[in-house]
């Protein structure tokens, strides 16, 4: 069965269709996230993307916020109307297919983790996403980005895209390194994966051996693993 994998981001909404083996059936497409990014506006984009993706039998969605049983609880980088929105049910109604939804960083990690011990994912884009995994099992909805980090600022305020634009790539990269250093003795991850659109700005040679940069397309490929 083909799976339509959707990634809702603060700057773009992306889609790709995969077969049961994870092979690409239809190439990745992207449409800029509408502003304001209300549920109605974003769902219209999802319908547009789906109409161009050919045949699929089910849908996976990565969402930038807390998702519980297909219902979005928060979306700090989208719109307040997402609080309590039944995302999976509404997309299922519009597309006529079964739908599963989870936090976007959590989904991205499913596309790259090895499934051994404690692994973690940080996504660097409009905001900062975080995913934690134990022996391949995702621990959902840890909103690390909104926890205080330094100088009375949260992780997201320190390394989100707004900070990058304000302070420049070099200082921003230094801040990301401090995040990595901070989390290592707290989470004691076996491996940490850095993804999201802004991860490309980091120098892999400066990272610890157990920290790797992953392709942003993993945010879509992980959608297949939401189905087991």
pTM: 0.91
Provide mean pLDDT across the span 143-171. Answer: 95
Rounded Cα–Cα distance for residues 39 and 78 (Å):
9
Of 3.40.30.110, 3.40.30.10, 3.40.50.2000, 3.30.420.40, which CATH number belongs to 3-104+220-227? 3.30.420.40
Closest by Cα among 52, 49, 53 to 18: 53
**CATH top-level class for 107-214?**
alpha beta
Show me where the domains of the chain are located. 3-104+220-227, 107-214
pLDDT at 120: 98
User: In the structure, what pLDDT confidence band is assigned to residue 77 with cuts at 50, 70 and 90?
Assistant: confident
Provide mean pLDDT across the span 78-105. Answer: 97
Alpha-carbon torsion 41, 15, 140, 70, what sign?
Answer: positive
């Amino acid at each position: 069965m083909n799976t339509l994998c959707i990634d809702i981001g603060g700057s773009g909404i992306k889609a790709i269709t995969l077969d049961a083996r994870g092979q690409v059936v239809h190439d990745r497409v992207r449409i800029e996230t509408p502003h304001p990014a209300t549920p109605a506006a974003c769902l219209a984009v999802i319908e547009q993307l789906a109409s161009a993706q050919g045949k699929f039998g089910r849908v996976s969605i990565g969402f930038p916020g807390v998702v519980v049983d297909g219902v979005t609880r928060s979306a700090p980088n989208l719109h307040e109307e997402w609080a309590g929105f039944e995302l999976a049910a509404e997309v299922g109604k519009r597309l006529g297919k079964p739908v599963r939804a989870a936090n976007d960083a959590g989904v991205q990690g499913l596309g790259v983790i090895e499934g051994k011990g404690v692994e973690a994912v940080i996504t660097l884009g409009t905001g900062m996403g975080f995913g934690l995994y134990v022996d391949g099992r995702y621990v959902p909805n840890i909103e690390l980005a909104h926890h205080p980090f330094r100088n009375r600022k949260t992780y997201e305020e320190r390394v989100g895209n707004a900070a990058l634009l304000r302070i420049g790539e070099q200082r921003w990269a230094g801040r990301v390194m401090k995040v990595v250093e901070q989390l290592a003795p707290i989470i004691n991850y076996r491996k940490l994966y850095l993804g999201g659109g802004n991860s490309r700005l980091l120098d892999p040679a400066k990272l610890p051996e157990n920290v790797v940069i992953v392709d942003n397309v993993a945010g879509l490929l992980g959608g297949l693993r939401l189905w087991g």
